[in-house]
Structure 1
Amino acid sequence: MKLVGERIRALREQRKWSQMKLGELAELHYTYIGRIERGENNVTMKSIEKVAAALDVPFEELFRFIQPLEKGRDNYYLSLLVSKFQSRSASDQKHAYELLSYMLEWKDE
C-alpha cells in the first residue's frame, strides 16, 4: 500500500492541498491521511474509495503506474513526474520532454 500512499500524496500535492483538507473532503482524520500516504496503515477499500472521491479521480487512478519496484525506490521520482504531467496538455508534455531531454544530454556530456 506504500505505492498507493505515494500516489495519493502526489495527487494531493498536485492540487496544493494539505492533509487536513483532503481528510475533511474524504471524511477521514488528517493523521490517518498521513499514515496512508506513508504506507503505515492497513487501509480499507472504503477509505481508498473516500480518498479517490475527495480527489475526484476514479478509484483505479490511485493504482495507475504502480509496478513492482526493483530493489530500492528507483521508480518513485519517475511516478511523481508522470503524475505531475499526465493532466497537462500535449503541448506542455512535449515542452517538458524537450527540456528534460536537453538537461539529460547536458549531464551526459
Structure 2
Amino acid sequence: MGQLGVYFGQQVRAARLERNWSQAQLAEAAGTSEEWVRRIERGAKSPSFDTVEAISTALGVTVSHLFAAMVEIRRGLKGSSASRARCPPPTLSGWKTPPD
C-alpha cells in the first residue's frame, strides 16, 4: 500500500485513541480481527469498502473523516504527474447511484 494508505491508517488510529480504545476493542466493535486493524493502521493492507464503513461506524465518525488526511495529501500532490497517475482525485460529492 502506498503513502495514502498510511495516512488512512493514521486517521483510524487517531480516532481509536481519541476513544481510548485498544485495537482489540475496535476490532470487536467493527466485526473484524485485531490483526486486520493492526495492518490497516500500519498502512500494510487496504480495507474493503465494507470494512471502512464498519470501522467508521464503530468509531462514530464519518467515512469522509477517515479519508480527510488523504484528501489533504492529494491536494498537496497536484503538481506531480506521477501522483495523478497513481491516485485519482477523490470526489465524494460527485458520486451517483448506479442504475438498477
TM over 0.5: yes
SS of alignment partner, residue 41 of structure 1: coil
1:57 to 55, 58, 61: 61
User: Matched residues in 2 for 1:65 and 1:48: separation?
Assistant: 15
Question: Structure 2: which amino acid aligns with 1:62?
Answer: L
Alignment check: 8 A CA contact 2:7 2:69 kept:
no
1:68 Cα deviation from its structure 2 partner: 2.1
Instruction: Note the residue ranges of structure 1 that are not aligned, 5 or more in a row.
Output: 71-109
1:21 to 22, 25, 31: 25
1:11 to 7, 11, 15: 15
Greater radius of gyration (CA): 1
User: Matched residues in 2 for 1:29 and 1:65: separation?
Assistant: 24
TM-score by length of 2: 0.65
Counterpart mapping for 1:85-100 below 5 A = none
Determine whether 1:45 maps to 2:49: yes
2:39 equivalent in structure 1:
35
Q: Which has the higher contact order (CA 8 A, sep 6+)?
A: 2
State the identity %: 31
TM-score by length of 1: 0.60
> What per-residue deviation string (whole Å, max 9, x for no partner) do you get for residues 45-70 of structure 1?
11110000000111111012332277
1:43 Cα deviation from its structure 2 partner: 1.5
Question: Structure 2: which amino acid aligns with 1:40?
Answer: A
1:2 Cα deviation from its structure 2 partner: 1.2
Once superposed, what is the RMSD of the aligned Cα atoms? 1.5
Question: Structure 2: which amino acid aligns with 1:2?
Answer: V
User: Matched residues in 2 for 1:43 and 1:24: separation?
Assistant: 16
User: Matched residues in 1 for 2:43 and 2:69: separation?
Assistant: 17
